[in-house]
Amino acid sequence: MISVRKLQISRGSSRLPEISFEIPQGEYAVLMGPTGCGKTSLLECIVGLVKQDSGEIIIAEKEVTQLPAAARHIGYVPQDAALFAGLSVRENIGFALSIRGIKEITIQERVEELAASMEISNLLDRGIRGLSGGERQRIALCRAMALRPRVMLLDEPLSSLDEISREKMCNLLGKIHCESGATFLHVTHSSAEATRLASMRLERILV
Give residue limits of the domains in the chain.
2-206
Q: How many CA within 13 A on the CB side of residue 49?
A: 13
Strands, E assignment, the chain: 2-8, 10-11, 14-15, 19-23, 28-32, 54-59, 62-63, 74-77, 151-155, 183-188, 205-206
Percent of the chain with pLDDT over 70: 95
pLDDT grade for 163, boundaries at 50, 70 and 90: confident
Lay out the sheet containing 28-32: strands in order across: 74-77, 151-155, 183-188, 28-32, 205-206
Q: What class, spelled out in words, does domain 2-206 have in CATH?
A: alpha beta
Among 49-63, 117-131, 162-176, the least confident range? 162-176
Does the structure show a pLDDT above 70 at 204? no
Q: pTM to 2 decimals?
A: 0.88
pLDDT per position as a tens digit, 109-147: 999 999 999 899 999 999 999 898 889 989 999 999 999
